Structure 1
Amino acid sequence: MKLLRFGPLGNEKPGLLDADGAIRDLSGVVGDLSGAVLGDDSLAKLRGIDPATLPVVEGNPRIGACVGQVGKFICIGLNYADHAAESGMALPEEPVIFFKATSSIIGPDDDVEIPRTSVKSDWEVELGVVIGKHTKYVAVEDALDHVAGYCVVNDLSERDFQIHRSGQWVKGKSCDTFGPIGPWLVTRDDVPDPQNLSMYLEVNGHRYQDGSTKTMHFGVATVVSHLSQFMSLQPGDVISTGTPPGVGLGQTPETYLKPGDTMELGIEGLGIQKQNVVAG
């Protein structure tokens, strides 16, 4: 099942993508794709609805982030062996955890703004994991049962802020528009193996990232279990699980985003994002 949110920023409605690619309006059934709506029982009820009974959304509405009211936006760093190598960093013994501000979240096709003092704004295609129920001290073998579904995330990063300015990575990760999420939340029953998904990212038509979740250092189940040892995870929390090689920091010479650029990125079965880059 492919769920999405459509409409103006801040006034998105919940929707469902039918087999023909049409958006069906779910606002008469649920208020938003957030919180308890992402639980197993609620998703089972949505799955039981005949899409043909739902209103068709006409035209081409803006697509918003596929999850509403995100409580935590948690990221895993250096989680692909080949990306760690291009960054000149050793693979971590435990998952590297950092946060992005939820104010960075935008829709999958919204404009990305380059911060005014940025000199090294970078791209990162990542598998997003959306939590579906309260998760605390969960075992690895049970962790995926706590996942509502998966989505595409562009974990944009300002490398100068992240690496060369004092403090934590969060200041290079949390700029406004640095968290496009979507287009769809694909429920876990439609993603039989999250560790076997191809993924890519292009800038101005040039493919920089061409990888697979196969090369994750810590898989989704391990990441969810690990996080739950340190904090409870709530329905609607989003985990961005790391990026394969090909980021701008790893190019020779280093290559970064500038106003006028366009990005396209996608993950197998989870949809495609397209963003124009503008000055902030």
Structure 2
Amino acid sequence: QGTSAHPPHHEAAPHVALPGPSTDGGGAAEAVPATRAPEPVHTVQALAPTGGSAAHVADLVSGPVELVAAVRRLVRDMVVVATLEDAEDLVAAHPELTAVTGEGDLLSAHFAHGGSAGAPSLLEVQASVDEAAAELAGLAVRCTELAEAQRLAAGRRTESAALVEELGERRRAAERERAGVAQQLGRLAGQARGAAGEAERMDASAARAQEALERATEEAEELAERLLVAEEAAGDGADDEPDTGVRDRLAADGANARQTEMEARLQVRTHEERVKAL
């Protein structure tokens, strides 16, 4: 930026005394300027020391007559230049002026403000406002939807918690039932082992009964042969006195053999039925 310089010094304007209030009841004099110092006049050539174009803003103002004078009074120290470099040169040469560029840059000896040729227009600002309002409305609808979704999720969470509790109770009941079944299986396993032992004992008893049956059968056959021999001998010696003791003994042995055979058969049949029942 260009170095700032103090504006040219003008002699103080004379003042006149006007009556005013005082503490002692009298009038005190208040100093006011009687006349205003003359404003410096700059020509366009003087405002463009480097050969650039420059123009007073007041010369570019147009409008109603009753307003133009006031506006020109407000912008009397503003000059329009082409570039920011021209503004720096102008302020360096005339620190009392304010330079304005076509891009909207404002530069003086005491402040600087950046501008932009692409500043948004009123329509663009209104469009941005409408877009923001539409986005806000969409966000409000989205918030309502999310609140409803949150409410539904809370309901589902409550239902899920109740279902979890119910499933937990079912699981505990199933565990208790499984424990009961395990105990019952233990008892049945013990009974099965006992039945297996009983079956083994029955098999051994059946084997012994079968052996006894075979022995009784052999003994019965032997006694039958002896009885047949005795009867033949008795037929040959019919005139001789038969020995009743031998006959009675053989008859008793035959009866005993038949009884033993019958008992053995019954015992074998009983063991077979018990084994089938197991």
**Larger relative contact order (Cα-Cα within 8 Å, sequence gap ≥ 6):** 1
Q: Which has the higher strand share?
A: 1
**TM norm. shorter chain > 0.5:** no
Q: Which has the higher helix share?
A: 2
TM-score range, shorter chain: under 0.3
TM-score, with length taken from structure 1: 0.18
TM-score, with length taken from structure 2: 0.18
Which one has the largest radius of gyration?
2
